[in-house]
Amino acid sequence: MSRVIHEGPWRVDLDVRPGVRSPLSGAELARVVGAALRAAEAPSPASIGLILSDDAELATLNAEHMGADGPTDVLSFPLLPPEAFGPAAGFPDQPRPPRARLHLGDIVVSVERAVEQAEEGRGGHTGDVRWSPADELRLLVTHGALHVCGWDHAEVADEAAMRALERRLLG
């Protein structure tokens, strides 16, 4: 099932793969994405893809794009450089036609993995949180959207900043 949901100046192109059941509505998912894009000061108007999938697809993508075996919970595919985000970005410098949207990138989440992590108490930032599948999915979508916006957690300081922003956004 595919649908377009507008959240402020952003268009969320939601694609739910066959057989995948989300614990969150499309409107709630769009609100989560919109909150992350606002916090990252994403350029607007813009669009972003959100694909809700399963472990099999994430395992394939993980192998193809990350060189890792097995499924992961979320992958992000940013299309703009990190410099495109934030108050001084002004990206792109070129004028666009009216109503034209930049595409920021895509987020692919394994709902199957989100549910399993939540139910087994392997969720959250630390991998030891037991909470609802909806809360785990909110975290993964937020995390993926921030990655699209140039946030990363490879360095200790960057991880601390990203985790703090995720906690703030998730309330």
Return per-residue pLDDT of the chain as tens, 171 residues: 999 999 999 999 999 999 999 999 999 999 999 999 999 999 999 999 999 999 999 999 999 999 999 999 999 999 999 988 886 565 555 555 666 789 999 999 999 999 999 999 888 878 888 899 999 999 999 999 999 999 999 899 999 999 999 999 998
For residue 123, the one-letter residue type is G
What does residue 78 show for φ and ψ, rounded to 5 degrees? -70, 145
Instruction: Tell me if 59 sits within 8 A of 112, measured CB to CB.
Output: no
SS3 47: strand
Compute the distance between CA of residue 88 and CA of residue 36 in angstroms, rounded to an integer: 18
pLDDT computed for residue 75 by the predictor: 98
Residue 9 half-sphere exposure toward CB, CA atoms < 13 A:
15
For residue 103, the one-letter residue type is H
Compute the distance between CA of residue 88 and CA of residue 3 in angstroms, rounded to an integer: 32
CATH class of 2-90+99-170: alpha beta
pLDDT computed for residue 90 by the predictor: 57
Q: Residue 48: name the closest of 141, 140, 115 by CA.
A: 141
Instruction: Tell me if 148 sits within 8 A of 77, measured CB to CB.
Output: yes
pLDDT computed for residue 101 by the predictor: 87
Pairing of strands 10-16, 46-53: parallel
pLDDT computed for residue 118 by the predictor: 94
